[in-house]
């Protein structure tokens, strides 16, 4: 299923019969039914958009750029699919913007638009970590 961002405004006074749709699906699905909505993915990228690690909050711009880069590199669908998420803090709060790639648990600091492009092309597309920008690894 492709998210089409079909946001619907919930009714002022929800009733038992009302259904709120987000991304085209009811928000009230139980976990057992949610599993059917998830397509396989290879990696998950989290971008800190908070203002402590990056006082000018460059992470917000990087998060938007990431979507364009993933589309350009054909990483939005299929077996190499990369999910992305933004978060207000990754618990580092210095040297940002901070970007982390799972499942490897590779943490990048000081991410610029140019470095983000390298992360997408070299790490996410080609599987080679951009070593000189890594400041932490899972484990
Ligand atoms: S604000 Fe970015 S890591 Fe905390």
Mean pLDDT per 10-residue run, the chain (139 residues)? Answer: 42 54 71 80 97 96 98 95 97 97 98 98 98 97
Q: Identify the pLDDT of residue 1.
A: 39
Q: Which residues of 2-17 are buried (b: 16+ CB within 10 A; e: fewer)?
A: eeeeeeeeeeeeeeee
Q: Identify the pLDDT of residue 6.
A: 41
Q: Identify the pLDDT of residue 23.
A: 67
Q: Identify the pLDDT of residue 59.
A: 97
Q: Identify the pLDDT of residue 10.
A: 45
Ligand 1 atom nearest to CA at 49: 2
Q: Is the CB of 97 under 6 A from ligand 1?
A: no
What is the DSSP code (8-state) at residue 122?
Answer: I
Q: Which residues pair with 99 in a beta bridge?
A: 47, 108
Q: Identify the pLDDT of residue 45.
A: 98
């Amino acid at each position: 299923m492709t998210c089409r961002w079909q946001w619907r405004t919930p009714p002022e006074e929800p009733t038992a019969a009302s259904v709120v749709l987000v991304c085209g699906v009811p928000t009230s699905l139980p976990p057992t039914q949610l599993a059917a909505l998830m397509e396989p993915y290879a990696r998950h990228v989290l971008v800190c958009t908070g203002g402590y690690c990056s006082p000018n909050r460059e992470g917000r711009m990087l998060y938007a750029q990431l979507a364009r880069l993933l589309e350009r590199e054909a990483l939005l669908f299929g077996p190499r699919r990369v999910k992305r998420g933004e978060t207000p803090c990754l618990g580092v709060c210095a040297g940002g913007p901070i970007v982390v790639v799972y499942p490897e648990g590779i943490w990048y600091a000081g991410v610029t638009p140019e470095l983000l492009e390298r992360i997408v092309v070299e790490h996410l597309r080609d599987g080679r970590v951009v070593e000189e920008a890594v400041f932490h690894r899972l484990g």
